[in-house]
Structure 1
């Protein structure tokens, strides 16, 4: 079967239009007809290039992550002297990014927070796109951990697993907030940020007097 020749300009217009639609309307409410109209192409071209709506969503998510990652300064995370500083710096930086790139942030947050919009099989594909196109928690946490003055009996791998547990808790709280406040922003998440600092503080100091 001959490979379909794709026009790069049309691909860019389709992905840009789908980013607008998926970010503003989420997956279930978005129609391919609207994306085609916004991109000034036929609906047939969209299906010829991307096969179906689900694959178009995955490609749009990948497109957003690639664009976003190309603009993110990960030194904000990597240069922090400890976990508490990393949480504060990263949160302030995320707010700036959200204001500068609202479409990308909205799509990425919705894809993460609204897994119920997808079947289990499709949600697994969404997570695969995230994993292949995002920095892992270990990539961001390990340099900071190595600079900290850890006790001699503490192993880096054990500390990483514990911090990942804390990060999962923060992620679940963020996910719940986003689901309950679809028009909220990171500025509205002060309580979650405070929780994050508390959790990391307990991790750093321990729970005994």
Structure 2
């Protein structure tokens, strides 16, 4: 069992630590962030942070999850579920994320930076980061379920194949986002017009097929 799961944590201290670590990681990215700066801002000792989170990377992971939870606590999932088709869903969802970004700038900054900071971590740590910030395929399938049910899918089409292809497209969009952030570490969602166009094109071909 991890040390961070064994140590009793004061909820008020946890709240102060995560709120301030979010600000510091958003401003400084991972490598330039100092734990003692977070401790000073959160009004706790540096030892408390290491006792709670074991390491700077442990705190970073908790901060990423904190950012995800903040966004998802207010996200309007009807933007996905009420779309008339998959193409509309991907466009609406991306535009909605841009709106959310203005409401949660620090949260989106640390999550987008996580894509661009891949060289800061070893393979194992990088995988843990991507599990937190990457495409959650189970949620993606759940959100797209009502849209898929409304589509006029041919009777000879295997639904498992449809789900597999949809998953592949979501993975591709995720890979393009990661590649963009590696090249443009200070970029944001509003600048990802090419990725939005690609996503719309992928979904359009997926729904219509490629045969004349």
> Would the TM-score normalized by the shorter structure come out above 0.5?
yes
Contact conserved, 2:116 with 2:185, CA < 8 A, in 1?
no
Equivalent pairs counted in the alignment come to: 206
Which consecutive residues of structure 2, in runs of 5 or more, have no partner in the other structure? 1-5
1:63 matched to which residue of 2?
66
| RMSD over aligned Cα atoms | 2.0
Give, in whole Å, the separation in 2 of the partners of 1:167 and 1:136: 11
1:106-185 to structure 2, matched below 5 A, reads 106-129=109-132, 136-185=139-188
1:7 matched to which residue of 2?
10
Shift of 1:5: 4.7
Give, in whole Å, the separation in 1 of the partners of 2:49 and 2:200: 45
Contact conserved, 2:30 with 2:117, CA < 8 A, in 1?
no
SS in 2 for 1:153: coil
- Would you identify which runs of 4 or more consecutive aligned residues in structure 1 move more than 6 Å? none
TM-score, normalization: structure 1? 0.90
Aligned CA distance change for structure 1 residues 82 and 91 (closer, same or farther; 3 Å): same
Contact conserved, 1:14 with 1:35, CA < 8 A, in 2?
yes
Give, in whole Å, the separation in 2 of the partners of 1:183 and 1:135: 29
Contact conserved, 1:33 with 1:43, CA < 8 A, in 2?
yes
Which among 197, 201, 205 is matched to residue 194 of structure 1? 197
Which among 6, 22, 43 is matched to residue 46 of structure 2? 43
Contact conserved, 2:111 with 2:133, CA < 8 A, in 1?
no
Contact conserved, 2:118 with 2:126, CA < 8 A, in 1?
yes
Which consecutive residues of structure 1, in runs of 5 or more, have no partner in the other structure? none
Shift of 1:4: 4.8
Shift of 1:112: 3.5
1:87 has 2:90 as partner = yes
Which among 37, 62, 76 is matched to residue 34 of structure 1? 37
Give, in whole Å, the separation in 2 of the partners of 1:168 and 1:144: 19
